[in-house]
Chain A
Amino acid sequence: DQQVKQNSPSLSVQEGRISILNCDYTNSMFDYFLWYKKYPAEGPTFLISISSIKDKNEDGRFTVFLNKSAKHLSLHIVPSQPGDSAVYFCAARDYSGAGSYQLTFGKGTKLSVIP
């Protein structure tokens, strides 16, 4: 039972255009959502996050939108650059008890930005 779903395994975008990566979730108890970026042979690195009480968070070329009623979030990258080519993981946080939280990850979307 996947609580965090990234239904597109891959996405190709031309350099300079917008990349939109999507993520759906089922657990209404998630209180934070995060995007991680992963290059081959490296660990994931944090990109951007959003609280469940907000609907938008922007950081430079990266914007995350949250539609809580639809249980959907998306990551927009504008403009896309070849260095953005990586696997992007959506993750969601919920409380696991005793003052601790856990992240649940989606399967990832491989973004390829074509020069």
Chain B
Amino acid sequence: NAGVTQTPKFRILKIGQSMTLQCTQDMNHNYMYWYRQDPGMGLKLIYYSVGAGITDKGEVPNGYNVSRSTTEDFPLRLELAAPSQTSVYFCASSYMPSGTTDTQYFGPGTRLTVL
């Protein structure tokens, strides 16, 4: 099992550009999540999905979009990049709702800089 994979690892965008951060998991997990981590801060939930075709907003969804057409993939789309979106983005997945003994498994992250 590769677990949770994210591409790209690093990206520099210009203001106003768009991009898609890719996330794939091979554990057949129902639940998937996107977080961002700003320097010196904890992780904040952007969007999550409880299964294919179902997504919902987290704490900081503005400026992002997601889709979940398959169980494995959960891409995050930035339409008009802004400097405030400079951050490290983590994708995670879990079999059950987060918490308990079934935890969230995280990808290695994508470091995004918007100039």
Contacts and interface: CB of A to CB of B under 8 A. Distances in A.
Interface of A: 4, 6, 9, 31-32, 34, 41-46, 49, 51, 89, 91, 93, 96, 98-108
Contacts of A102: 45, 48, 58-59, 98
A100 B40 CA distance: 28
A43 B103 contact: no
A13 B101 CA distance: 28
Contacts of A44: 43, 90, 106
Interface of B: 4, 31, 35, 40-45, 48, 50, 56, 58-59, 90, 92, 97-101, 103-109
A106 B58 contact: no
Contacts of A34: 99, 103
Contacts of B92: 43
Contacts of B98: 93, 101-103
A45 B4 CA distance: 12
Contacts of B99: 31-32, 34, 49, 93, 101, 103
A99 B56 CA distance: 12
Nearest to B35: A105
A43 B5 CA distance: 10
Nearest to A42: B108
